[in-house]
Homo-oligomer: A and B are copies of this chain.
């Protein structure tokens, strides 16, 4: 009752509020630096952008993967959660899949370097991989399975593979001569089963 409650008048832990604010600022700063220099930017740059010492970064996010996950968690979660609704609302499973993938692409395309890191085999990023895959592969699989079941798309492709393909297509999307969205569109179109005869 008087513990960790936030609604009570007691207001036991003012620090907590500060720290939370600080953490939010950190995430903003990290997001900004990630956009500018990619998710592998030096810790010091992020600290500088946030106007804090490097120790503060490490306090809040012991590993870089923790930081990246924290920065993108909300968007990844939102993407994941949108899946079922799209499936329910979509004209066809394939259309739902396409729309869901579009959202994923919208997310990725604005994250300089994230797509690249997502396929890095660097051990330090395991947590990151795990988070993304745990969160997104099941959703993708659900949509993909539905489309396969409906006979709309070829069945020899896994959800992980598809997601990685899409992720890869988003690499380098900063270049105006390269339209990742269009290429993903082509890829998703290519999933379609050729009409029976």
Interface: A186 (CB within 8 A):
yes
A154: B residues at CB distance < 8 A: 186
CB distance from A3 to the nearest CB of B (A): 15
- In the bound assembly, the distance between CA atoms of A189 and B188 in angstroms comes to 10
Interface residues of A in 147-197 (CB under 8 A from B): 154, 156-158, 160-162, 164-165, 168-169, 171-172, 174-175, 177-179, 182-183, 185-192, 194-195
In the complex, the answer to whether A164 meets B178 with C-beta atoms within 8 Å is yes
A178: chain B residues within 8 A (beta carbon): 160-161, 164
Q: Give the complex CA separation of A17 and B191 in angstroms.
A: 53
C-alpha gap A156/B183 in the complex (Å): 10
User: How many chain A residues have a CB neighbour from B under 8 Å?
Assistant: 33
Q: State in angstroms the CA–CA spacing of A31 and B135 once bound together.
A: 37
Chain copies in the assembly?
Answer: 4
Residues of B within 8 A of A156 (CB): 182
A187 to B187, CA, bound (A): 4
Q: Are A161 and B190 in contact (CB-based, < 8 A)?
A: no
Q: Which has the most chain B C-beta neighbours within 10 Å: A154, A158, A183, A195? A: A183
In the assembled complex, the Cα of A158 lies from the Cα of B178 at a distance in Å of: 9
The answer to whether A116 has its CB under 8 Å from any CB of chain B is yes
- When chains A and B are docked, how far (Å) is the Cα of A168 from the Cα of B165? 8
Query: Cβ of A175: which chain B residues have Cβ within 8 Å of it?
Result: 119, 121
- Residues on A lying within 8 angstroms of B by beta carbon are 116, 119, 121, 154, 156-158, 160-162, 164-165, 168-169, 171-172, 174-175, 177-179, 182-183, 185-192, 194-195
